[in-house]
Amino acid sequence: MRRKLVAGNWKMFGLKADLPEVSAIAAAAAANPGVDVALCVPFTLISAAAKAAGAMPVGAQDVHASPNGAHTGCVAAPMLVEAGARLAIVGHSERRAAQHETDAEVKAKAEAAHGAGLQAILCIGETLEERDAGRAEAVVTAQVAASLPDGAAGSWLALAYEPVWAIGTGRTPTEADVAAMHGAIRAKLRALIGAEADAVRILYGGSVNAGNAASLLACADVDGALVGGASLTAAKFVPIIEAAAAL
């Protein structure tokens, strides 16, 4: 039985003035021990957020594939560990689009995270154009095959299915579409890594909020949520944690 993981992605939001939100979210995480909760914040906030979060894991939103080197502006996995991070998001669609990250780069980033002892949340998802063309499952399962890190076996890795058209739009797929996609991802994982696939959590992300969390989290093969906008405040995020705990 996979434990549910509810992870927040603060994207490019968050200053030290927001640390009370981290503390309040961490308190809710402690009060709901049946669910794993994590918060991925900007690099600049990791150290302070990790202190404010207590036992709740804090993570980054990207990591470089190399442990060090001449890569101006980039941050390596050992640096994240030193700052207090325990996980990293890799391959978010915003980075795949704006930074042109490829599946091969995403795979290398996940492996670098794992090598440094970080958990990884690896994002995949189709565009609206791809869904409208009937290619959503083909696109997403191809992303899984091409970006799955070596050593994927085990609970250090989570995949996050985030349809690009559902991110920040208030639109979500139907429950049937979510279940179908998560089933297809699980089947692909089994084909690639056999029974070890059952340890890998598959999160849903894209416009998750207090109103839709319970029904999305109840879909077959949905092992948690990756939450953007609704993770920025405890008032919005805690009900999602509680919805996961109530399942």
Of 21, 64, 162, 182, catalytic: 162
Q: Is 168 annotated as a binding residue?
A: yes
Q: Is 207 annotated as a binding residue?
A: yes
Q: Which is nearer to ligand 13P, 91 or 149 (CB)?
A: 91
Q: Is 229 annotated as a binding residue?
A: yes
Q: Is 228 annotated as a binding residue?
A: yes
164 touches 127 (CB < 8 A): yes
Closest contact distance (angstroms) between CB of 48 and ligand 13P is: 21
Rounded distance between C-alpha atoms, residue 124 and residue 40, angstroms: 17
Of 64, 92, 114, 182, catalytic: 92
Residue nearest to ligand 13P (CB): 228
22 touches 84 (CB < 8 A): no
Q: Which is nearer to ligand 13P, 86 or 193 (CB)?
A: 86
Is 162 annotated in the active site?
A: yes
Closest contact distance (angstroms) between CB of 68 and ligand 13P is: 27
Query: Binding residues for ligand 13P, per CB under 6 A?
Result: 9, 92, 162, 167-168, 205-208, 226-230
Closest contact distance (angstroms) between CB of 142 and ligand 13P is: 20
Closest contact distance (angstroms) between CB of 195 and ligand 13P is: 28
Q: Which is nearer to ligand 13P, 92 or 114 (CB)?
A: 92
Q: Which is nearer to ligand 13P, 140 or 193 (CB)?
A: 140
**Binding-site entries:** 9-11, 168, 207, 228-229
- Positions annotated as catalytic residues are 92, 162
- Binding residues for substrate, as ranges, are 9-11, 168, 207, 228-229
